[in-house]
Amino acid sequence: MKKIFNFVYSGICLLLLVYLLLPSPSMPGSLPDSVKSNEPGDMEDPMRIAFYTDMNRQEVVAYYLGEFGNGLPALRLRDYPPEEAQTLIRDQTQSTFLEELVHPMRESLFINGYEPSETKNPLVVNNKVWKQKITIKFVQSSALLRLLVGVSGLVILYLLIIEFKRLLRGVIKH
């Protein structure tokens, strides 16, 4: 039984370490049929870019689920309140929706969409009215930090399992 446990645990450890050490994907590209924003606030951080598009929210999120990769499945983690965009994207970001795609224990991609009311402030760029402005922010993590957290978690898990087995033996004896 102990050999089986050690074999399974070692296999899980190896898979986790390989997952954590895979290279990070690059910044996802632009949306199809979109125009890149050249506003100063959208160009100050290379890990944050904005586009004007006529795609709807579902199409944008589906596109970036496919792009955000390296062959790893991305999870659609959260649908944040739009007010959080000023904290997570940029302090003056306008927002209608904000979603996060994530590779657990690795990187995240925040997708912020702003769809103004058509009558008030239409998005006009290059003499075309666009449905919405999409801002994406790519947040990477250090491979060394991922490895440190992953190995620490595996060591703690192993120690907890040993302690649980010791306690279980004590309960069974009494």
**Domain for residue 11, yes or no?**
no
Domain that holds residue 101: 31-150
Greatest pairwise CA separation for the chain in angstroms: 82
**Domain for residue 56, yes or no?**
yes
**Domain for residue 171, yes or no?**
no
Cα–Cα dist 149/143, whole Å: 10
Cα–Cα dist 97/134, whole Å: 10
**Domain for residue 58, yes or no?**
yes
Report how many domains make up the chain: 1
Phi then psi dihedrals of residue 142, to 5 deg: -75, 135
**Domain for residue 160, yes or no?**
no
Render pLDDT for 120-160 as a digit per residue (tens, 0 to 9).
Answer: 778 888 888 889 999 999 999 999 999 999 999 999 999 99
**Domain for residue 3, yes or no?**
no
Each residue's pLDDT, cut to its tens digit, for the chain (174 residues) gives 788 888 998 999 999 999 999 888 888 888 999 999 888 888 888 899 999 999 999 999 999 988 886 677 778 777 888 888 888 888 888 888 999 999 988 999 999 999 987 667 788 888 888 899 999 999 999 999 999 999 999 999 999 998 998 888 878 776
Which H or E run contains 170?
A: helix 143-173
Residue among 139, 125, 141, 134 nearest 63 (CA): 134
**Domain for residue 155, yes or no?**
no
Q: Are 108 and 89 in contact (CB under 8 A)?
A: no
**Domain for residue 119, yes or no?**
yes
Cα–Cα dist 63/67, whole Å: 6
